[in-house]
């Protein structure tokens, strides 16, 4: 038996590095970060929906207070989330650039057989969502909204008022809805893609996953969109100005 | 009288022991020495690909060539139905002897007995090998391999992978070849066409190729040259062969002194989609496996031919194969089925455009098995049929007609698969030995793999062992001269700048061969064709138009070279058919038939292999006979009644 | 039938090409797409112009040599290869764009001919079962459930034509690679080296410069052999598990 005919398999210096720099590995990184972001979106929606509990949306004030009760955890989570965002964005942009390079010349006739518009606009929808997010964070989380300094009857930061009053501005609610639309598009492809990338898509389950993902994405978006709609429609009311009390000095700082 | 005598080198001993005896006595090349050898394999189909892979595994250095852009595209890939093996998994009485007998009888007693016996002996191991390689053969629910039956056999011994058995077997070979390429033992040269064989001191020591992308003419030397370049069915222009299939490699070897055996033995496959027009470039086969469940018929009366098949009642249909051959019925061998179809069409009872077609009806099968089972068995074939003809064969019967499919003839080889030129080995469809005058369905895949995997790797040792490193350099004058001749020929083709396209010549000789050397041949027609070939060759070399340059990808130039060889080769086919004053297998001479129209064989005078020797341009070839000897089989009239 | 063709012409060795306008007149509707090109080429030759180079061989949809993009769709509209496409599927007088496969890893050789050797090199990097001819056990010694054999066959049906990569907006070869990984990985015979195979083939695929999968599924839609994209999912999983195992083994 000749030694030359023994195939030794691929040699890679570091298995982990080889994985994350491979095409499929990068997809996994994008998928894992995407999946975490989907979980965050879910949690975020659950938090937002507390605005419907109690009068004047004070459910969300209680929720916000609970969140701020342990700053270490909150900042840890925020830091983690930022990292996940950065990883997701950098990985997917790398993928996009590589993909461009892999197809240097386009066809003269553009034909689309079965790819969805959601799939083909992932980079665009992702970037618009990103700009929306920056605005969103600055507005609501970083306290740059003109309505960020109100306090409710129990002296908590009146998050509900900040949200509802902001949405009374049609530009704000309009931009918010646009952001949601694009996020919905992004998730429409993103959620089912996570299943495909993780290898959870079977031949028979593929349809179910595809439609399930569409349903979940747009259900989520409806949930988010209900808040600006309810605000503008007057279903969500703000604590009247005359009943508002001044904050106690010990109240948690805005953040 | 011939100037050479042919020694088939059949080993001594009883038929069943010959192969074992041979292997015991054959010479070996030691593992350490194998790497000092270089072998050239031309062609990457089942035979060439498997041989190259095994040589690589054994430690030889292999240079492998194919004209396609990848070895995975060799035309073995298009075989649909299956591969035979004497496994007797169905417990229906199959055995090595029975497969041997069926093959000999199927070949109408014109194959070499010892070769066929060996083929049957190694057949079982081919299946083992393919399964080990990951070929996804059809299985039963218990996980065991499934079988179907094929023409010319009364047992189920055919293994299959849907309607794509050839593809799966070839991809198995290709994967093994790829393994060796990665191991560095095989160097692959795709898009290279062999244009000449180089002889040094009378031994085959290399080839001249053209790089089909750059046009470069290159010489390659080796210790031995293995040709696995397939058949010459494309001489007929319309055939089931791939567009690129050609006779050039074997024909060039013939011109260098290799004998060409039985060139007139060509197989016309009974179940192809009928021709629909002048522009047609190729005929599509419908797998013979369809005849397991399809019933072949034509209307009893000429007047009914124009009617819709569903309007013809049962009693007005002539199931002619079942009528004439009750024990084999629709599974009668290919030559017989084809000729029967031609007969009924000649009687004016053919159906479809031009009356050149017969029905193959699945209504009974659908009634018996249900549409789903039929779909499971033949779904892709029905789809293909619908795609090409626009007709749904679940609702209306298929129309089929015979078409050129396989060529039993090929370069003459001995028991070691070596041609009369030492160092030149020929395997697969390119040689002549195993199928006689007619090949049974699912036996081509078997033979290709048998030659490449289990025969040649054992038999080549006898030639190689004594050589040890005597391979010549390509700088030798023999190579330079061959290169020069190749360049000269290309230059000539490009310089004619005539008026006729290459294809028009190809169509012309194709029609000539189909008419005079097709399903029915006559002395008169063949003589006429032989004369006509001289004229066509003359016309070709004065009026052909080949555009472009020689130093780039030039498909017209490639085709022109191949057609030029087909023209000369077509004449050789006719010479052979003219010499053989008998009817046997695929060779049907109208002068020699029984009163019922069956083939009339003449064992007294024609129990030999006709091997033809090239004697020079414009001269008639010389016939060299290899008399056949049968020990295990008694010659009998071939009956499938 | 008559057609107005816009055919990509590119000289050998040049990175650039242009569309040539050609009229295809009086084409029989039963002609296949490649036969239509034959007719056009014959007429070009008669007119003294060099015919269009295109790859083709078996013309029955199985060899995978065809590599035409017709009106933006690799292998043309409908299932099957370009050779299995018939002119009756087009409208009389239609303008038809014929382009080569456009994938970075498949450089154009000439006109419509591309170099797909990258696919061969991917197979060479592990798309096989290492076994030595002559020592296989009896074929029925290892039962393979019919469902497994059938599913493996679905993947094995790949004809290696490259339409998947050509249809992918990213020029990704995932479906091709996944088909071979799936075919061999599903069968018991292919399991011993399944991990090494998937890592080797993916590494080679990346090296060849194919793009990444964005789950568009255009590949699946144009695949003449109907290989489902579920095999890509399977490969994603197999690759991750194989890499994990490899990492564990490397540290153990």
* Cβ under 8 Å to B: C residues 107-126: 109-110, 113, 115-117, 119-120, 123-126
The beta-carbon neighbor of A111 closest among C6, C71, C196 is C71
Phi, psi of B318 (to 5 degrees): -110, 105
Q: What is the CATH number of domain C3-110?
A: 3.10.20.30
Find which of A2, A4, A6 to mutate to test the B interface (most B CBs within 10 Å of its CB): A2
Q: Do C3-110 and C116-251 have matching folds?
A: no
So what's the pLDDT on residue A4? 47
Residues from chain C contacting residue A18 (CB–CB below 8 Å):
199, 203, 243
- CA closest to B56 among chain A residues: A5
Q: Once rounded to an integer, what is the mean pLDDT over residues B315-339?
A: 92
A6, pLDDT greater than 70:
no
- If you count DSSP H runs as helices and E runs as strands, how many of each does chain A have, helices first? 9, 0
Q: Once rounded to an integer, what is the mean pLDDT over residues B183-207?
A: 98
- Token readout for B523 is 């002395």
Domains (ranges, CATH) in chain B? 15-268+406-464 (3.50.50.60), 269-402 (3.90.700.10), 477-614 (1.20.58.100)
So what's the pLDDT on residue A248? 56
So what's the pLDDT on residue A255? 42
Q: Is B454 on the interface with C (CB under 8 A)?
A: yes
Q: Once rounded to an integer, what is the mean pLDDT over residues B430-443?
A: 94
Phi, psi of A68 (to 5 degrees): -80, -5
Buried residues in B371-399 as b, exposed as e (16+ CB within 10 A): eeebeebbebbbbbbebbbeeebeeebbb
Residues from chain A contacting residue B56 (CB–CB below 8 Å):
5
Q: Which of B157, B162, B334, B339 is catalytic?
A: B334
So what's the pLDDT on residue B388? 87
pLDDT in tens, B201-214: 999 999 999 999 99
So what's the pLDDT on residue A246? 62
- Token readout for B91 is 């417990």
DSSP code per residue over B371-385: HHHHHHHHHHHHHHH
pLDDT band at B81; cut points 50, 70, 90: confident
pLDDT in tens, B329-357: 998 888 889 999 999 999 999 999 888 99
Q: Do A7 and B57 touch (CB under 8 A)?
A: no
pLDDT in tens, A122-149: 999 999 999 999 999 998 877 788 888 8
Sheet order of strands, B192-200 included: B192-200, B203-211, B217-221
- CA closest to B54 among chain A residues: A5
The answer to whether B378 touches B366, Cβ cutoff 8 Å, is: no
Q: What gap in Å lies between CA B399 and CA B352, rounded to an integer?
A: 7
Report the SS3 class of residue B14.
coil
Domain range summary for chain A, segments of one domain joined by +:
24-103+119-243
Tokens 């360049």 belong to which residue? B487
So what's the pLDDT on residue A153? 85
List the alpha helices (DSSP H) in B163-293.
165-183, 248-255
The answer to whether B135 touches B63, Cβ cutoff 8 Å, is: no
Residue B364: exposure state from Cβ atoms within 10 A (0-12, 13-18, ≥19): exposed
So what's the pLDDT on residue A11? 58
Domain range summary for chain C, segments of one domain joined by +:
3-110, 116-251
Q: Do C239 and A206 touch (CB under 8 A)?
A: no
The subunits that touch chain A, with at least 3 C-beta pairs less than 8 Å apart, are: B, C
A254, pLDDT greater than 80:
no
Find which of B238, B281, B383, B563 to mutate to test the C interface (most C CBs within 10 Å of its CB): B281
The answer to whether A187 touches A214, Cβ cutoff 8 Å, is: no
So what's the pLDDT on residue A155? 85
Measured over the CA atoms of residue B546, residue B550, residue B552 and residue B557, the dihedral's sign is positive
Is B334 catalytic? The answer is yes
The gap from C-alpha B272 to its chain's centroid, in whole angstroms, comes to: 16
So what's the pLDDT on residue B143? 97
pLDDT band at B478; cut points 50, 70, 90: very high
- Token readout for B89 is 């998994």
pLDDT in tens, B260-278: 999 999 999 999 999 988 8
The subunits that touch chain C, with at least 3 C-beta pairs less than 8 Å apart, are: A, B
pLDDT band at A12; cut points 50, 70, 90: low
DSSP code per residue over B504-572: HHHHHHHHHHHHHHSSSB-HHHHHHHHHHHHHHHHHHHHHB---S-SSS--HHHHHHHHHHHHHHHHHH
Q: Once rounded to an integer, what is the mean pLDDT over residues A76-84?
A: 96
So what's the pLDDT on residue B276? 84
Residue A87, min C-alpha distance to chain B (Å):
37
Q: Do B183 and A4 touch (CB under 8 A)?
A: yes
Q: Do A2 and B179 touch (CB under 8 A)?
A: no
So what's the pLDDT on residue B124? 97
Residue C103, min C-alpha distance to chain A (Å):
5
Q: Do A4 and B185 touch (CB under 8 A)?
A: yes
B1, pLDDT greater than 50:
no
Q: What gap in Å lies between CA C83 and CA C75, rounded to an integer?
A: 8
Arch. (CATH architecture) of A24-103+119-243:
Up-down Bundle (1.20)
- CA closest to A8 among chain B residues: B183
A60, pLDDT greater than 60:
yes
Please tell me the number of Cα atoms within 13 Å of B306 on its side-chain side. Answer: 1
So what's the pLDDT on residue B453? 97
Residues of chain C where predicted confidence (pLDDT) is lower than 70: none
Q: Do C230 and A104 touch (CB under 8 A)?
A: no
Report the SS3 class of residue B317.
strand
Percent of chain B's residues with pLDDT above 70: 100
pTM of the model: 0.94
- CA closest to B31 among chain A residues: A1
So what's the pLDDT on residue B163? 84
Residues from chain B contacting residue A5 (CB–CB below 8 Å):
56-57, 59, 180, 183, 185
pLDDT band at B498; cut points 50, 70, 90: very high
User: Residue B313 CB: number of other CB atoms within 10 A?
Assistant: 8
Residue C1, min C-alpha distance to chain B (Å):
13
Buried residues in C14-26 as b, exposed as e (16+ CB within 10 A): eeebeeeebebee
Q: What is the CATH number of domain C116-251?
A: 1.10.1060.10
Residue C212, min C-alpha distance to chain B (Å):
24
The answer to whether B176 touches C128, Cβ cutoff 8 Å, is: yes
Taking chain A, what is the end-to-end CA distance rounded to the nearest angstrom?
A: 72
């Amino acid at each position: 038996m000749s030694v030359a005919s023994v195939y030794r398999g691929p040699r890679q210096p570091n298995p982990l590095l080889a994985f994350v720099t491979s095409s499929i590995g990068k997809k996994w990184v994008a998928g894992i970060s995407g999946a975490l972001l989907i979980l965050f979106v879910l949690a975020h929606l659950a938090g937002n929906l507390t605005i419907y509990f109690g009068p004047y949306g004070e459910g969300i004030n209680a929720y916000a207070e609970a969140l701020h009760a342990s700053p270490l955890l909150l900042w840890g989570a925020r830091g983690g989330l930022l990292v996940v965002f950065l990883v997701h964005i950098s990985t997917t942009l790398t993928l996009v650039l590589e993909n461009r390079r892999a197809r240097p010349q386009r066809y003269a006739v553009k034909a689309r057989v079965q790819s969805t518009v959601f799939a083909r606009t992932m980079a665009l929808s992702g970037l618009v969502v990103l700009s929306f997010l920056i605005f969103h964070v600055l507005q609501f989380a970083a306290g740059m909204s003109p309505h960020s300094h109100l306090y409710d009857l129990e002296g908590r930061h009146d998050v509900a008022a900040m949200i509802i009053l902001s949405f009374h501005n049609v530009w704000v609610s309009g931009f918010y809805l646009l952001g949601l639309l694009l996020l919905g598009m992004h998730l429409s492809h993103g959620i089912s893609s996570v299943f495909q990338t993780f290898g959870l898509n079977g031949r028979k389950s593929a349809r179910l996953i595809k439609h399930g993902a569409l349903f979940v994405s747009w259900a989520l978006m409806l949930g988010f969109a209900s808040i600006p709609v309810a605000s503008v429609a007057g279903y969500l009311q703000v604590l009247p100005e005359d009943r508002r009390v001044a904050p106690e000095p010990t109240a948690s700082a805005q953040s | 009288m011939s100037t050479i005598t042919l020694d088939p080198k059949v080993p001594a001993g009883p038929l069943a022991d010959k192969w074992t005896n041979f292997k015991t006595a054959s010479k070996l090349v030691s593992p350490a020495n194998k790497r000092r050898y270089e072998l050239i394999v031309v062609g990457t189909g089942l035979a060439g690909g498997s041989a190259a892979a095994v040589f690589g595994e054994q430690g030889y250095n292999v240079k492998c060539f194919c004209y396609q852009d990848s070895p995975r595209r060799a035309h073995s890939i298009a075989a649909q139905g299956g591969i035979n093996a004497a496994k007797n998994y169905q417990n229906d009485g199959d055995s090595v002897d029975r497969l041997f007998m069926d093959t000999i009888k199927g070949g109408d007693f014109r194959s070499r007995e010892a070769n066929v016996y060996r083929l049957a002996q190694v057949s079982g191991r081919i299946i083992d090998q393919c399964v080990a390689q990951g070929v996804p053969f059809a299985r039963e629910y218990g996980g065991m391999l499934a079988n179907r039956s094929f023409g010319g056999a009364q047992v189920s011994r055919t293994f299959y992978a849907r309607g794509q058995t050839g593809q799966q077997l070839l991809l198995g070979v290709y994967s093994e070849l790829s393994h060796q390429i990665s191991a560095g033992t095989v160097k692959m040269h795709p898009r290279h066409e062999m244009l000449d064989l180089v002889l040094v001191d009378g031994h085959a020591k290399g080839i001249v190729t053209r790089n089909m992308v750059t046009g470069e003419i290159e010489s390659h030397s080796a210790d031995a040259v293995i040709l696995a370049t397939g058949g010459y069915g494309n001489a007929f222009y319309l055939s089931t062969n791939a567009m690129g299939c050609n006779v050039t490699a074997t024909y060039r070897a013939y011109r260098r002194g290799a004998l060409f055996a039985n060139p007139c033995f060509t197989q016309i496959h009974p179940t192809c989609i009928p021709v629909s027009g002048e522009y047609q470039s190729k005929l599509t086969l419908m797998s013979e496996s369809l005849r397991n469940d399809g019933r072949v018929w034509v209307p009893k009366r000429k007047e009914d031919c124009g009617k819709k098949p569903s309007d013809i009642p049962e009693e007005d249909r002539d199931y002619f194969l079942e009528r004439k051959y009750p024990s084999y019925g629709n599974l009668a061998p290919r030559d017989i089925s084809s000729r029967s179809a031609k007969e009924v069409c000649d009687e004016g009872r053919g159906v479809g455009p031009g009356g050149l077609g017969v029905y193959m009806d699945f209504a009974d099968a659908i009634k018996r098995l249900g549409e789903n089972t039929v779909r499971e068995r033949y779904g892709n074939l029905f789809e293909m049929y619908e795609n090409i003809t626009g007709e749904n064969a679940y609702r209306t019967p298929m129309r089929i007609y015979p078409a050129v499919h396989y060529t039993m003839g090929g370069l003459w080889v001995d028991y070691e698969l070596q041609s009369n030129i030492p160092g030149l080995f020929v395997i697969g469809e390119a040689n002549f030995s195993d199928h006689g005058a007619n090949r049974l369905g699912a036996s081509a895949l078997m033979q290709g793999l048998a030659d490449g995997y289990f025969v040649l790797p054992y038999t080549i040792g006898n030639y190689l062992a004594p050589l040890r490193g005597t391979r010549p350099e390509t700088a030798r004058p023999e190579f330079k001269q061959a290169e020069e001749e190749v360049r000269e020929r290309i230059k000539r083709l490009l310089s004619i700048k005539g008026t006729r396209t290459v294809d028009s010549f190809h169509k012309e000789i194709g029609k000539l061969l189909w008419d005079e050397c097709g399903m029915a041949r006559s002395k008169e027609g063949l003589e006429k064709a032989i004369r006509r070939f001289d004229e066509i060759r003359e016309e070709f070399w004065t009026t052909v138009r080949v555009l472009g340059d020689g130093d780039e990808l030039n498909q017209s130039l490639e085709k022109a070279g191949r057609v030029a060889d087909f023209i000369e080769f077509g004449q050789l086919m006719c010479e052979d058919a003219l010499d053989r004053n008998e009817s046997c297998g695929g060779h049907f001479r109208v002068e020699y038939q029984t009163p019922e129209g069956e083939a009339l064989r003449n064992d007294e005078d024609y129990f030999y292999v006709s091997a033809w020797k090239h004697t020079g341009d414009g001269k008639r070839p010389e016939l060299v006979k290899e008399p056949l000897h049968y020990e295990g089989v008694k010659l009998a009239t071939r009956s499938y009644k | 039938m008559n057609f107005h063709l816009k055919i990509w012409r590119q000289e050998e060795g040049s990175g650039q090409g242009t569309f040539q306008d050609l009229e295809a007149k009086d084409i029989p509707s039963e002609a296949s797409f490649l036969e239509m090109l034959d007719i056009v080429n014959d007429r070009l030759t008669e007119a003294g112009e060099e015919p269009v180079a295109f790859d083709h061989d078996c013309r029955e949809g199985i060899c995978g040599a065809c590599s035409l993009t017709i009106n933006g769709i690799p292998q043309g509209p409908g299932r099957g290869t370009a050779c299995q496409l018939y002119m009756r599927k087009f409208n009389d007088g239609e303008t038809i764009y014929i382009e080569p496969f456009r994938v970075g890893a498949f450089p154009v050789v000439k006109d419509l001919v591309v170099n797909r050797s990258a696919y061969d090199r991917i197979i060479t990097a592990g798309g096989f079962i290492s076994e030595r001819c002559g020592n296989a056990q009896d074929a029925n010694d290892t039962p393979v459930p019919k469902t497994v054999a059938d599913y493996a066959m679905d993947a094995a049906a790949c004809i290696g034509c490259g339409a998947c990569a050509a249809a992918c907006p990213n020029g990704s070869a995932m479906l091709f690679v996944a088909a071979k990984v799936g075919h061999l990985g599903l069968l018991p015979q292919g399991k011993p080296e399944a991990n090494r195979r998937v890592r080797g083939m993916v590494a080679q695929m990346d090296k060849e410069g194919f793009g990444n999968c964005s789950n568009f599924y255009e590949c699946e839609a144009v695949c003449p052999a109907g290989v489902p994209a579920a095999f890509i999912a399977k490969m994603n999983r197999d690759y991750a598990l194989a890499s994990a195992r490899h990492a564990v083994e490397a540290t153990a």
